[in-house]
Amino acid sequence: MFASKTAVVGLVIVLFWVLVAVFAPLLTPYTPTAQDAQAQNSPPSAAHILGTDDLGRDIWSRLLYGARVVLVILPVGEHFWLPMGTALWGVALGLLVGCTLGLMGGYLGGWIDEVVMRILDAMMAFPVILLYMIIIAAVGASATNVVLAIAIVGTPGIARLVRSLTLDIRTRDYIRAAEVRGENPFYIMFVEILPNARGPIIVDAMLRVGYAIFAMGTLGFLGLGLPPPSPDWGSMVAVGRRYILAGSPWAALWPSLAIATLVVGLNLVADGLREESLRYQ
């Protein structure tokens, strides 16, 4: 990580958003849903450093609490949440399913490989945004359903990557030695093959977290993200764009920059890791 300047720059950006998300209650005196009828669509000021939206809600506080949902916590119910953000849970679930399918297809081969790959190919035939919209429209808009959508959409690409790595690694001598020892196929897949394929999978996962954040913003913009009044960055942009020509661009500008900087930061980390991994191969 620290051998690459590109990765370090990306890490600084990502850590900024992680830290402000973790310490959000300490960094703003407002809650993300508190309204001020006297300060609707107000510009940045001492009271509201990034301005307010159409309902007088502080944009800075909504950005911070929106980052919490993306990176730090997953709201499951009204008073219950899980550690790790929505984007991370979506990618993690996609990795779990995708790695399992890719390992089975690449190592076991035969009809299992054909069935798995044809189903995944059919899923990849759908445009990504359309597939997101179909899933959310079918199960409803909520944080857990966004996680499900991210996992389903990401699984085919992850499975194909893991399958290609498995097809290469299965020819190595240490795999043959494990087979001669009589090891179980699942032991060979998850103990022998998967750890030796972790480099490209980690880099791909970093990129997919960025894609997931961008997808969350897109779904929120289309009204299919987190239900209001959740501080969803995409829905903030959708509402704020109505007031850009009225001279109040703040509500759309800041969440757009938040999405852009976080995605760019994750991509820089992934690019730096890929450069260094290629150097040491």
Token duo for residue 277: 């991994």
Closest CA to 69 of 193, 208, 217, 221: 217
Percent residues over pLDDT 70 in the chain: 98
pTM, two decimals, is 0.88
- pLDDT at residue 128 greater than cutoff 90: no
Position 281 confidence tier, pLDDT thresholds 50, 70, 90:
low
Closest CA to 32 of 247, 184, 235, 232: 232
What is the per-residue pLDDT for 102?
94
Token duo for residue 62: 């909504």
Token duo for residue 137: 């429209």
pLDDT in tens, 151-174: 999 999 999 999 999 999 998 999
Whether the ω angle into residue 195 lies within 30 degrees of 0, i.e. cis, is no
pLDDT in tens, 48-74: 899 888 888 999 999 999 998 888 887
- pLDDT at residue 244 greater than cutoff 90: no
CA distance 145 to 152: 10
What is the per-residue pLDDT for 248?
85
